[in-house]
Structure 1
Amino acid sequence: MSGSASVRPAPVPLPDLTVRPGAPFGLYIHVPFCATRCGYCDFNTYTPAELGGATPAGWLTALRTELALAAARLDAVPDVSTVFVGGGTPSLLGAEGLAEVLDAVRDHFALAPGAEVTTESNPESTSPAFFAGLRSAGYTRVSLGMQSTAAHVLVALDRVHSPGRAIDAAREARAAGFEHVNIDLIYGTPGESDDDLLRSADAAIGAGVDHVSAYALIVEDGTALARKVRRGEMPAPDDDVLARRYELLDRRLADAGLDWYEVSNWSRPGAECRHNIGYWAGGQWWGAGPGAHGFVGATRWWNVKHPNAYALALGERRLPVADFESLDENTSHVEDVMLRVRLRSGLPTALLTGAERDAAAQVVADGLLRANADRLVLTDRGRLLADAVVRTLLA
């Protein structure tokens, strides 16, 4: 992708956006900056050499304009129940920069009482002063990318932080007054052992976090990891190993009082990430920043990807929309089933067609779903085969 500032964006106009009443409304804000690129990452992020002159200050100016245009574009401006600042590496902005992000939100949107305000952070760009600044600014939740405490696993993933730094950062966040601290793990990296994963889980539990997200390593096309696998320098993740690691992790977290509430997420009671639940349970959100996706009413859109194209569009006071789609009733139904079945709260049977209920009965008989009053909930084995469950229901 070109980093040249001379490349002009070609934003497209959005159709009318009608906010669905009663559905939670959130804001996702994408920070596209990273100091280095991790080998497995295919997110819309840019290292300094790839920015083509784009700067955090220019990004923030453009973000303020997008939020102003967003508030003007909606038919009604709902109170915002959740804000999630992701990336990229938001912590590269520092506490002052992240405070400015939240100030920009408040300039154009009202935060609902008790709103959840989250930022992702790389452990290496945090400190006790950083977390204290976030709390003063109004952030309520922090998510730390740890991936593993095993040095050789971090090397395989091209992670630059030291093995123990994420745990120290989690303790610092707790000491600064953050009740909700999340740690991200990746399991199934070639060279990782069962004990490596369990030690990582134990370290997170010992740091007092109340939420853990854990994802199986996926080899994404176009990444450095994919090139290594293609050249035979590293084996592809093994599906049987991934399943065993998931079961090991689930048992260890459950024993510590963190229960699954979504296939890849565990928390203590009341510590679920409300912003992400909004994605899975039919909420709405405005996605701001380069490459961010939004969903309001029946319209989903995504922004131009490069920070320069993003800033150029907003410099002309045009929303930086690369394209959009209007979801018809069938597409909305398919996505609703795909997402809600992943939640521990379950898939309401009322959402299913007659044929889908017949298919669900067979999945229940196969031991992958259990009927719980008027909902269908994945069994432990079903969580390992969630995608296959969805395919069967929607066949």
Structure 2
Amino acid sequence: MPPITPQDLTHPVPGLSRRAATNAVALGLGVVAVLCVVDVAGGLVLEQRSAANISGTFALAPALTALSRSWRRTALVGVVSVLVAAALVVLDGVPWGTGAVRALVVLAGAVLSSVVAHVQHRQWAQLQDRRQAARTLQAAMLTRLPRPDHLQLTSRYLPASSGDQVGGDWYDAVVDADGATVLIIGDVVGHDIHAAAAMGQLRGLLRAYAVEGGQSPAQLLTRTDDAIARLGLDVLATAVVARVEQDRDQAGSGRRRLRWSNAGHPPPMLLLPADRTSGGRVERLTGDGDTEVMLGVGLPGARHDHVLDLPVDSTLLLYTDGLVERRDEELDEGLTRLAHAMTRADTAPPPARTPLDGWLDRVLTTSMRGGNQDDVAVLAVRAHREDRPRPAEAGPPLPQPGAPLLQ
């Protein structure tokens, strides 16, 4: 399934197509025709048409048409079924009492099927309203990404191959008060409007804390955990918060530092650039290897930061578990598959390497050839060289109100 944008999510949820509704009516009328043939053929074979009369079975036609969830279409097929059944009763010479009972059976079936179709339509419409509300809420969570100087950010959100296109996956990025770029990826447990609403609350907390500046990723996650407990929020979520930092000494040499903390989420992946002698290499950023608990669990314990130097021309990928988890394989297999996709998507050294947007699309296409069974959110960051102008592919930098010059 192709990536979608916030605009895609705000489009109305499609209902039953006109073609599908027409097919349901055709099915009902086709059943009427087939039963007519069976009735006539049975009379010829048995040479006693009244004994072969099957007019009562015509109630099947409106029952099948009710699958269209349209009481009008169901009623139309029901009227045809009653008229044809009554005609066959007369033509087959069925006794009046028996024929009346059979016709009434068809009439009762048609009325009942129409009522069922109407009830199903109302329930379906209410469900679609809930889906649309959740999709609109989720669309509001898909952030317009900042453009820090010489850092390029791009993102994708892909709904599951089947389902309501509603979930708790989200990404976010802000430039904080210190000028550092804070990256967030998270996944709330659940796949309904409640998960989308909980995701909105959690995203709002993390975003508000992150923009303040002066806090490490572990501190941001700890504050969020405290807020969840104090506010009594019923939410469980995994998340990674990463911070791209650069002090004045590092700015002079074009170096950056990546600091991150992981709350039970799949590890970030870092693609080191290819050179003239070898292709790129992917590192799983697992820190010390210990997995810390999810947000909202409420267990005591300190969260920890992990730090590394972010090489020039490297690409950082944050993602949710739908990208790497499959029901029929271990998580490590999914991580390995993702690492291979990342290296295959960009084999040329700078400056001939694949632009970030094209690279991310290749990674997603390769990683999800069988479709994604869960929602997927991804956030990719490329660290461009600072001794050259910002690449055109990264777009012009957006002004960050109140932020220092250094990121």
TM over 0.5: no
TM-score (norm 1): 0.26
**Structure with bigger gyration radius:** 2
> Normalized per residue, which structure has more strand?
1
From the two aligned structures, give the one with the greater helix fraction.
2
TM-score by length of 2: 0.25
